[in-house]
Amino acid sequence: MEYVYAALLLHKLQKEVNEANVSSVVKASGANVNDAQVKALVAALADVDIDEAIKSAPVAIAPAAPVAAAGESKKEEKHVDTSKSEEAAMEGLSSLFG
């Protein structure tokens, strides 16, 4: 996961997403670098437009909790099942590497 975060950070900073840069970011985070995973990620992202992938990825947004005004009793909050939206988000992420 740290490799994907490194690639997203590099992209956000408008730096080239290459093996050396991804390795540097992962090393700077304090994690151990696996060169095979870095190579696989960079190869998988070679033909991916990251901006388009981010725009088309489904985003799971949790509804805001209602804010009770001073002196009002709390209303019972409804439970929202986000498991399906989380699964959809993960499918969107997996398309980056497919």
Q: What is the pLDDT of residues 21-43, one digit of tens each?
A: 999 999 999 999 999 999 999 99
Structure token pair of residue 14: 């408008």
| pLDDT number for residue 33 | 95
CATH fold, domain 2-69+78-97, is: Arc Repressor Mutant, subunit A (1.10.10)
| pLDDT number for residue 39 | 96
Burial-class residue 8 by CB neighbours within 10 Å (0-12, 13-18, 19+).
middle
| pLDDT number for residue 25 | 95
- CA nearest neighbour of 92 among 51, 53, 40: 53
| pLDDT number for residue 57 | 83
Alpha carbon distance 51, 32 (integer Å): 28
Report how far apart the first and last C-alpha atoms of the chain are (Å, whole number). 16
Average pLDDT (72-90) is: 59
pTM of the shown model: 0.57
Q: DSSP character for 73? A: P
Structure token pair of residue 52: 């388009």
Domain segments of the chain as ranges: 2-69+78-97
Residue pLDDT, tens place only, 48-79: 998 888 888 887 666 666 655 555 555 555 55
